[in-house]
Amino acid sequence: MPRLGDESGTTGASFGARALVLADVLAESSDSPEYLACTYMTLAHRAVAARLREWMRIAGMTASIDAVGNVVGRYPSERPDAKTVIVGSHYDTVLNAGKYDGRLGILSALLAIEELHRTGRKLPFNIELIAFSEEEGVRFSSPYLGSSAVAGKFDMSLLPRRDAGGYGLADTLAAAGFDPHAIPALARKREDLAGYLELHIEQGPILLGEGLPVGVVTSIAGAVRYSVVVTGTAGHAGTVPMQMRHDAAAAAAELTLLVETRARQAPGLVGTVGRLTVPNGAINVIPGRCEMSFELRAGEDAMRDAALADVLAGIKAIQQRRGVTIDAKEVLRSPAVPCTPRIQKLFGDAVARAGITPRLLPSGAGHDAVMFDKLTDLGMLFVRCGNGGISHSPLETITAADADIGVRILLDVLVNYQS
Ligand SMILES: [Zn+2]
């Protein structure tokens, strides 16, 4: 019997080659004819969900779509009292997306479970493969809609929220045939869970740079974000002498370099000024006001907060020296989520058994796994991203050989998992 994604009609194709074929099939459904976009509850999004449900059934699972649009496949244990290991990632995408962000994790688990089923192997725990409906936060500006529901953290106050076209979240769900009031009941019970596993494309250049196909995630970075207004004194660009100026943009530039310089001082720490504007700026006017943002991320909260303290102290110094006012407001603070040591070890051992040096690395990007923090043991495997590590772009690439290693390691971890 041909296996999922095996176009050759034989049983010759590798897991990795098949995963890439299946990712191509999913990418045929898009909100746009010009690029890949699969945002929450669009026709393309529903088509992808239906396809995943069909594939899960072919792979030997019972499968259904829940009230928030997650596709849930179940590969039961033979033990009636068995706990459940969730393997998940998301099937929604950003606009103008790559084909593997989120989906590689779903397809890798799908092929691993198909292999268990094909070889008649049952495990001492149930596996739930969950293709989460929403992680990117594109349509309703709120990420993790799918995984938050399963983790019992869905925010029901989001239901009246509207998308850019004016459609409400609750109405959108109802129009697609879903009952938003059934979402709280999707929460899994802590005592039923034996862990959460996620495979994901790295979305960065570290593994590529080191020549490694996979890496074991140690933690998912937390972030602090600040919104900043710098107020100086506007003036004539030709008449005000340099030593008498209070230039808001020059102060903002200094702050930008401070964030960069401080973030460079510790490996695993990153700092970014993503917004930087001179509202109504003109070429012959000294900037009187500058609006900007900065964020700091690290795999450890203490490292991040030490950097933040230095940046805030620097802001004070810039204000005094330049005679400007800098109003910096914290707009987001999310803690780093550590991956459970025993699951890091399980992944590391499986990587070593595959003949690869286990490389531990933090994740700078958020993932569905963060929703399972403090609910159950969790761990992640990264697969090398090609093309310089570009992601959230059609330039995102992965090789069949790397995808193959990812599926094999996931399968190894499942088989050796201690629930
Ligand atoms: Zn993702």
Q: Beta strands 337-338 and 214-220: pairing type?
A: antiparallel
Angle at 110 between CA 152 and CA 84, to 5 degrees: 40
For residue 339, the CA-to-ligand 1 centroid distance in Å is: 17
For residue 39, the CA-to-ligand 1 centroid distance in Å is: 13
Asked whether residue 199 is assigned to any structural domain, the reply reads: yes
SS3 of residue 75 by DSSP:
strand
Please tell me the distance from the alpha carbon of residue 254 to that of residue 218, in angstroms, as a whole number. Answer: 33
Is 343 found in the same domain as 321?
no
For residue 127, the CA-to-ligand 1 centroid distance in Å is: 21
pLDDT tens digit sequence for 177-223: 999 999 999 999 999 999 999 999 999 999 999 999 999 999 999 99
Is 378 found in the same domain as 316?
no
Please state the φ and ψ torsions of residue 41, each to the nearest 5 degrees.
70, 20
Mean pLDDT value across residues 22-37: 98
For residue 380, the CA-to-ligand 1 centroid distance in Å is: 12
Q: What is the pLDDT of residue 405?
A: 98
Is 309 found in the same domain as 324?
yes
Helix (H) or strand (E) holding 107: helix 103-118
Cross-strand bridge partners of residue 260: none
Is 32 found in the same domain as 70?
yes
Is 227 found in the same domain as 125?
no
Please tell me the distance from the alpha carbon of residue 74 to that of residue 289, in angstroms, as a whole number. Answer: 56
Q: Which amino acid is at 12?
A: G
Asked whether residue 7 is assigned to any structural domain, the reply reads: no
Predicted confidence (pLDDT) at residue 144 exceeds the cutoff of 70: yes
Asked whether residue 381 is assigned to any structural domain, the reply reads: yes
For residue 132, the CA-to-ligand 1 centroid distance in Å is: 10
Predicted confidence (pLDDT) at residue 8 exceeds the cutoff of 70: no
Predicted confidence (pLDDT) at residue 237 exceeds the cutoff of 60: yes
For residue 253, the CA-to-ligand 1 centroid distance in Å is: 32
Predicted confidence (pLDDT) at residue 114 exceeds the cutoff of 60: yes
Is 154 found in the same domain as 37?
yes
For residue 327, the CA-to-ligand 1 centroid distance in Å is: 33
Is 204 found in the same domain as 165?
yes
Which residue, 300, 334, 368, sits at the end of a domain? Answer: 334
For residue 200, the CA-to-ligand 1 centroid distance in Å is: 7
pLDDT tens digit sequence for 278-289: 999 999 999 999
Specify the CATH number for the domain of residue 216.
3.40.630.10
For residue 355, the CA-to-ligand 1 centroid distance in Å is: 27
Helix (H) or strand (E) holding 379: strand 378-383
For residue 93, the CA-to-ligand 1 centroid distance in Å is: 8
Full DSSP string of 156-208: GGGTT-B-TTS-BHHHHHHHTT--GGGSGGGPPPGGGEEEEEEEEE--SSHHH
Asked whether residue 244 is assigned to any structural domain, the reply reads: yes
Q: Judge whether 123 and 415 are in contact, CB under 8 Å.
A: yes
Contacts 24+ apart (CB under 8 A), 342-347: 342/377, 342/418, 343/195, 343/197, 343/377, 343/378, 343/379, 344/216, 344/217, 344/218, 344/379, 346/379, 346/413, 346/416, 346/417, 346/418, 347/216, 347/379, 347/380, 347/381, 347/409, 347/413
Predicted confidence (pLDDT) at residue 231 exceeds the cutoff of 70: yes
Domain count, the chain: 2
How many CB atoms are closer than 10 A to CB 271? 23
pLDDT tens digit sequence for 85-108: 999 999 999 999 999 999 999 999
Q: What is the pLDDT of residue 3?
A: 87
Closest CA to 216 of 225, 207, 226: 207
Is 264 found in the same domain as 410?
no
Asked whether residue 248 is assigned to any structural domain, the reply reads: yes
For residue 400, with 0-12 CB atoms within 10 Å meaning exposed, 13-18 middle and 19 or more buried, which class applies? middle
Q: What is the pLDDT of residue 419?
A: 79
Predicted confidence (pLDDT) at residue 352 exceeds the cutoff of 60: yes
Angle at 137 between CA 228 and CA 54, to 5 degrees: 165
Predicted confidence (pLDDT) at residue 418 exceeds the cutoff of 90: no
Which residue, 334, 364, 384, sits at the end of a domain? Answer: 334
Asked whether residue 9 is assigned to any structural domain, the reply reads: no
Mean pLDDT value across residues 122-127: 97
Q: What is the pLDDT of residue 1?
A: 63
Specify the CATH number for the domain of residue 231.
3.30.70.360
For residue 286, the CA-to-ligand 1 centroid distance in Å is: 42
For residue 101, the CA-to-ligand 1 centroid distance in Å is: 5
Largest CA distance in the chain: 83
For residue 167, the CA-to-ligand 1 centroid distance in Å is: 25
Asked whether residue 158 is assigned to any structural domain, the reply reads: yes
Is 363 found in the same domain as 307?
no
pLDDT tens digit sequence for 379-411: 999 999 999 999 999 999 999 999 999 999 999
Asked whether residue 36 is assigned to any structural domain, the reply reads: yes
For residue 291, the CA-to-ligand 1 centroid distance in Å is: 30
Mean pLDDT value across residues 334-340: 96
Q: Judge whether 237 and 407 are in contact, CB under 8 Å.
A: no
For residue 90, the CA-to-ligand 1 centroid distance in Å is: 6
Between the CA of residue 386 and those of 90, 101, 234, 334, what are the distances in Å?
20, 12, 47, 29
Please tell me the least confidently modeled range out of 11-25, 114-128, 216-230.
Answer: 11-25
What is the pLDDT confidence band of residue 309, given thresholds at 50, 70 and 90? very high
Q: How many helices (H) and strands (E) does the chain have?
A: 10, 16
For residue 241, the CA-to-ligand 1 centroid distance in Å is: 51
Q: Give me the chain's average pLDDT, please.
A: 96
Q: What is the pLDDT of residue 12?
A: 72
Which residue would you say has higher pLDDT here, 98 or 8?
Answer: 98
Is 133 found in the same domain as 86?
yes
Q: What is the pLDDT of residue 170?
A: 97
Is 173 found in the same domain as 59?
yes
Which residue, 334, 362, 394, sits at the end of a domain? Answer: 334
| Helix residue ranges, H only, 245-399 | 248-263, 301-322, 341-353
Whole-prediction pTM value? 0.92
Is 250 found in the same domain as 197?
no
Q: What is the pLDDT of residue 94?
A: 96
Please tell me the distance from the alpha carbon of residue 175 to that of residue 297, in angstroms, as a whole number. Answer: 38
> At which residue do the structure tokens 């050796």 appear?
416
Range of the domain at 311: 222-334
SS3 of residue 222 by DSSP:
strand
For residue 238, with 0-12 CB atoms within 10 Å meaning exposed, 13-18 middle and 19 or more buried, which class applies? exposed
SS3 of residue 25 by DSSP:
helix
* Tokens read off for 324: 């400007």
Q: What is the pLDDT of residue 10?
A: 57
